[in-house]
Chains A and B, each alone.
Chain A
């Protein structure tokens, strides 16, 4: 119903008035300097520029360019905390936000443990998380990458019926933090990604597969990898059926492992632990997992997508060993939860942007790799169920009780190799039991967007439900 748009995009680089990270720090410092006697002030200022391109049917379906900035102000006075934010760096709005945060603090209940971070002399790691190639990449090149991704998936296998979304996305984010307690810090990072969703089928059966590739800049993303990933995942599910219920060994795909680690991380948060909302509360130095499990949160590892020089309170990020050969050694703390627990911050404050206050959380989890690759693990397992993807994670996993029940699709493992596809199943256990019953940790570490790396993981004793 309309003309094809062959080359609709001009070669203008991303729009926006670039406030450098130094400008953000100047703004934050100027406000933090207004602290009154007896008052602590924390000012977090951030800005981000994004481009998203979606290709469909050989054309650009959507091209969105976005830049946003904002400020979040935390006030602690008389052991009470108040917070306010504004989606702008406008000076008058920031003044109003400060007044609002101060007013909000008067309504909180005093809490002796509340307070802002103080400099602790840990030097920040030297990390290069910023790819300048992104800012000089013309929009037309981004469009071409999305179109090429779609072409590769559509042309990659005769069983591919549809590519419902082929997306290029990038983001450059900068943040600065300043407090009246002497903290000044800045952090910046870029991310560039390709993701594609394929629908493949035969007869009346249609199955889906999502593939992606991500890195710091355009040179790190691989359209072939993303396309192959999507095609393989969709085509190998064709003909899937339900299975009979029973207990078996489950082998998790690296993406599923990453999801599992993310869930476990919420129970390792000092905030959850000090408030009695964690399966790990009170279990430091106890065996919480089998000896194959060593879990480290290391935001100073530049390969992690969650890598950062500083945490969300401005302390230098550091490596924290959480579980060492099955023994629970440490939780992650922000300043307030650390004080509540009688310890020091592990520089693990995280925040969802300028509109939220910091809390304790992981950024860059990695399970120490074992000796075997994915195929070797399948061969060792012999008979079981390989989980390609899970659904209902937010509704079916409870990090407080440990109950674990999620929708799952994947392939049966027979004679040590992948066999027939299975859909509409669930896998269930408890997080506590799963950690004890890990039988193989893969050596195939894959760095994934999010807060945990992935690798193949085999877990025994899980209940697979089907027909």
Chain B
């Protein structure tokens, strides 16, 4: 084991873990798992010109899962002593029906390759240096224009050390360090108030700020708010859409990502059921989910079920090639997990989740693509989104958008939601450029949030319904 990994293994003695797993299966059961997590986080916020708060905390505990047939029992504890773990194991094993006993479990440690080596651990950086970033962002945002009336900036880092062990003998650890910085601004003009937001978030340490300029983040957020002061209401009805590079990977996250999660597939709750091998998108679409990309927000060495992260091609040239799998859904189909088993914390059961989901580059030149779009809406930045996987209907919101007239960007537009149907929208992609870029996001599913990456080059969709108020 590497030095860092062995440090993580000390969260709980492997001999204790073996005994706990043996006890968890003492009443029968097909599979048992111990997930140990030690998460430290620090957050600092500046608002209204003041550093309002520095907050720090630690959450440490273990979750124990016992699978019996199609039934999963789960319990967790913040008590990492052998006694605490044994109590949780007993509670998780309540779904099994045999009388008490123990089974023997022997663990084999493995050390999966790490996608990235952190060079500056956040805990080794003084709080003062983190705070100083906030003041710089505040100055830069206010310098963007006198109409900027409010600036809030946030810094955050987290270190999440996990140990996963199961009755198949798996024993792995991971040490996930993430850093983020965000700025949001309010600008006031004759038409009222508008907001702008920008963030940088990566699975890296404090070296993030060697390559990310907080002044630039602040300036982008401020300019987004300022631009919308002169914005007109977005149109209503179906229009062609050009999505800027890195603006809207969330489109694929919602339009098909969730629908390709094997738990939805197993319950017929996805429009993509039975579609493997079928054309589900324009031939220009190749979609990949890849947890191994160094630095990206949804990256890790092993997932929260102990599987190494991997690169999974979901759609190739428009043909659906595979779904995403966690341990449980893979087991039901007699295959292996695709490294997509994730959970928010030790308090939660893992489920199928995306990592970094992106559309790969096409051949078009982004400037030509825009020039060849006579009318439509250019989306420079998308906000969040939501999908109903059963119907495939999804929405995503714009936070920076412009009208396209005669192949050029003209007026800025006020925020609006766009609504489409996943497979329909994917078939309507008629141009994909070669300027791939990513953006970070937080994905919520069944009450659990996890960091995910999204990404895509500039692309065009021939028709999406936009929910503005103009032109009725």
Q: With contacts defined as CB atoms under 8 Å apart, how many contacts are there between chain A and chain B in the complex?
A: 285
- Complex-state Cα separation, A466 to B264, whole angstroms: 27
List A contacts of B237 (CB < 8 A).
Answer: 245, 465-467
From A10, A59, A356, A427, contact of B70 by CB (8 A): A59
List A contacts of B56 (CB < 8 A).
Answer: 83-85, 100, 104
**Closest chain B CB from A61 CB (angstroms):** 7
- Complex-state Cα separation, A56 to B73, whole angstroms: 14
List A contacts of B128 (CB < 8 A).
Answer: 107
**Residue B61 lies at the interface, judged by CB distance under 8 Å to chain A:** yes
Classify the secondary structure of B's interface with A: strand
**Residue B467 lies at the interface, judged by CB distance under 8 Å to chain A:** yes
Q: Which of A247, A279, A355, A429 gathers most chain B CB within 10 Å?
A: A355
**Residue B32 lies at the interface, judged by CB distance under 8 Å to chain A:** no
List A contacts of B385 (CB < 8 A).
Answer: 392, 395
Is the pair B59, A87 in contact by a Cβ cutoff of 8 Å? Answer: yes
Q: Which of A67, A97, A103, A429 gathers most chain B CB within 10 Å?
A: A67
Q: B379-407 toward A: CB 8 Å interface, digit per residue (1/0)?
A: 00011111110110111110000000000
- Complex-state Cα separation, A414 to B96, whole angstroms: 55
Is the pair B469, A395 in contact by a Cβ cutoff of 8 Å? Answer: no
**Residue A405 lies at the interface, judged by CB distance under 8 Å to chain B:** yes
- Complex-state Cα separation, A10 to B349, whole angstroms: 21
Using CB atoms, name the residue of chain B closest to A81. B53
List B contacts of A65 (CB < 8 A).
Answer: 74-75, 91, 94
- Complex-state Cα separation, A466 to B467, whole angstroms: 8
From A81, A247, A426, contact of B395 by CB (8 A): A426
* A392-B385, A426-B465 given; A63·B391 CB < 8 A: no
Is the pair B419, A407 in contact by a Cβ cutoff of 8 Å? Answer: yes
Is the pair A405, B397 in contact by a Cβ cutoff of 8 Å? Answer: yes
Q: Which of B56, B149, B387 gathers most chain A CB within 10 Å?
A: B56
Is the pair B94, A401 in contact by a Cβ cutoff of 8 Å? Answer: no
List A contacts of B468 (CB < 8 A).
Answer: 405, 428, 463, 465
List A contacts of B415 (CB < 8 A).
Answer: 396, 398, 401, 403, 405
Is the pair B51, A406 in contact by a Cβ cutoff of 8 Å? Answer: no
**Residue A206 lies at the interface, judged by CB distance under 8 Å to chain B:** yes
- Complex-state Cα separation, A66 to B447, whole angstroms: 15
**Residue B50 lies at the interface, judged by CB distance under 8 Å to chain A:** yes
Is the pair A107, B469 in contact by a Cβ cutoff of 8 Å? Answer: no
List A contacts of B52 (CB < 8 A).
Answer: 81, 108-109, 111
From A84, A109, A407, contact of B417 by CB (8 A): A407
List A contacts of B236 (CB < 8 A).
Answer: 245, 426, 428, 463, 465
Using CB atoms, name the residue of chain B closest to A406. B417
- Complex-state Cα separation, A15 to B93, whole angstroms: 12
A1-9, A28-36, A119-127 - interface stretch: A1-9
List B contacts of A380 (CB < 8 A).
Answer: none
From B44, B193, B267, contact of A401 by CB (8 A): B193
Interface residues of B in 34-87 (CB under 8 A from A): 44, 47-61, 68-78, 87
**Residue B30 lies at the interface, judged by CB distance under 8 Å to chain A:** yes
**Residue A57 lies at the interface, judged by CB distance under 8 Å to chain B:** yes
Is the pair B395, A391 in contact by a Cβ cutoff of 8 Å? Answer: yes
Is the pair B466, A391 in contact by a Cβ cutoff of 8 Å? Answer: no
List A contacts of B96 (CB < 8 A).
Answer: 8
- Complex-state Cα separation, A197 to B127, whole angstroms: 46
Interface residues of B in 186-231 (CB under 8 A from A): 186, 188, 192-195, 228
List B contacts of A277 (CB < 8 A).
Answer: 150, 186, 193
- Complex-state Cα separation, A8 to B68, whole angstroms: 9
- Complex-state Cα separation, A385 to B236, whole angstroms: 16
List B contacts of A286 (CB < 8 A).
Answer: none
List A contacts of B421 (CB < 8 A).
Answer: 424
Interface residues of A in 1-41 (CB under 8 A from B): 1-5, 7-10, 12, 15
List B contacts of A409 (CB < 8 A).
Answer: 393
**Residue A215 lies at the interface, judged by CB distance under 8 Å to chain B:** no
List A contacts of B60 (CB < 8 A).
Answer: 87-88
* A7-B97, A107-B131 given; A424·B390 CB < 8 A: no
**Residue B416 lies at the interface, judged by CB distance under 8 Å to chain A:** yes
From B149, B188, B391, contact of A208 by CB (8 A): B391
**Closest chain B CB from A424 CB (angstroms):** 5
List A contacts of B194 (CB < 8 A).
Answer: 400-401
Is the pair B192, A406 in contact by a Cβ cutoff of 8 Å? Answer: no
List B contacts of A384 (CB < 8 A).
Answer: none
**Residue A199 lies at the interface, judged by CB distance under 8 Å to chain B:** yes
List A contacts of B388 (CB < 8 A).
Answer: 208, 391
**Residue B332 lies at the interface, judged by CB distance under 8 Å to chain A:** yes
**Closest chain B CB from A340 CB (angstroms):** 9
* A424-B465, A465-B236 given; A403·B416 CB < 8 A: yes
Using CB atoms, name the residue of chain B closest to A3. B69
* A85-B57, A407-B467 given; A395·B417 CB < 8 A: yes
* A107-B128, A162-B267, A463-B469 given; A423·B417 CB < 8 A: no
Is the pair B57, A355 in contact by a Cβ cutoff of 8 Å? Answer: yes
Is the pair A392, B70 in contact by a Cβ cutoff of 8 Å? Answer: no
From A57, A59, A111, A427, contact of B50 by CB (8 A): A111
**Residue B234 lies at the interface, judged by CB distance under 8 Å to chain A:** yes
**Residue B414 lies at the interface, judged by CB distance under 8 Å to chain A:** yes
From A5, A60, A275, contact of B47 by CB (8 A): A275
**Residue B140 lies at the interface, judged by CB distance under 8 Å to chain A:** no
**Residue B95 lies at the interface, judged by CB distance under 8 Å to chain A:** yes
Interface residues of B in 231-285 (CB under 8 A from A): 234, 236-238, 264, 267-269
* A100-B56, A398-B195, A403-B414 given; A207·B390 CB < 8 A: yes
Is the pair B94, A12 in contact by a Cβ cutoff of 8 Å? Answer: yes
**Residue A371 lies at the interface, judged by CB distance under 8 Å to chain B:** no
List B contacts of A9 (CB < 8 A).
Answer: 94-95
Is the pair A69, B192 in contact by a Cβ cutoff of 8 Å? Answer: no
Interface residues of A in 260-313 (CB under 8 A from B): 275-277, 279
Q: B298-327 toward A: CB 8 Å interface, digit per residue (1/0)?
A: 000000000000000000000000000000
- Complex-state Cα separation, A109 to B95, whole angstroms: 53
**Residue A139 lies at the interface, judged by CB distance under 8 Å to chain B:** yes
Q: Which of B87, B128, B131, B186 gathers most chain A CB within 10 Å?
A: B186
* A5-B97, A88-B78, A391-B386 given; A276·B71 CB < 8 A: no
- Complex-state Cα separation, A206 to B391, whole angstroms: 6
**Residue B472 lies at the interface, judged by CB distance under 8 Å to chain A:** yes
Is the pair A62, B349 in contact by a Cβ cutoff of 8 Å? Answer: yes
Is the pair A87, B395 in contact by a Cβ cutoff of 8 Å? Answer: no
Is the pair A400, B186 in contact by a Cβ cutoff of 8 Å? Answer: yes
Is the pair A395, B383 in contact by a Cβ cutoff of 8 Å? Answer: yes
Is the pair A63, B467 in contact by a Cβ cutoff of 8 Å? Answer: no
**Residue B347 lies at the interface, judged by CB distance under 8 Å to chain A:** yes
List A contacts of B44 (CB < 8 A).
Answer: 107
List A contacts of B383 (CB < 8 A).
Answer: 394-396
List B contacts of A111 (CB < 8 A).
Answer: 50, 52
From A56, A64, A81, contact of B349 by CB (8 A): A64
**Closest chain B CB from A51 CB (angstroms):** 10
- Additional A-B contact list (20), CB under 8 Å, known A63-B95, A64-B349: A8-B96, A60-B71, A61-B72, A83-B54, A97-B57, A105-B54, A107-B51, A108-B54, A164-B268, A199-B269, A245-B236, A276-B188, A277-B150, A277-B186, A391-B419, A398-B415, A400-B193, A409-B393, A424-B421, A426-B419
Name 26 interchain pairs, CB-CB below 8 A, sorted by A: A8-B68, A8-B97, A66-B347, A83-B53, A84-B55, A93-B58, A207-B390, A275-B150, A279-B192, A391-B393, A392-B385, A395-B384, A401-B192, A401-B193, A401-B194, A405-B467, A406-B395, A406-B467, A424-B421, A425-B467, A426-B417, A426-B465, A426-B467, A428-B416, A465-B237, A465-B465
Interface pairs A-B: 9 shortest CB-CB? A426-B467, A395-B397, A2-B69, A392-B395, A396-B417, A395-B384, A407-B395, A87-B59, A85-B57
Interface residues of B (CB under 8 A from A): 30, 44, 47-61, 68-78, 87, 90-91, 94-97, 127-128, 131, 149-150, 186, 188, 192-195, 228, 234, 236-238, 264, 267-269, 332, 347, 349, 382-388, 390-391, 393-397, 414-421, 465-469, 472
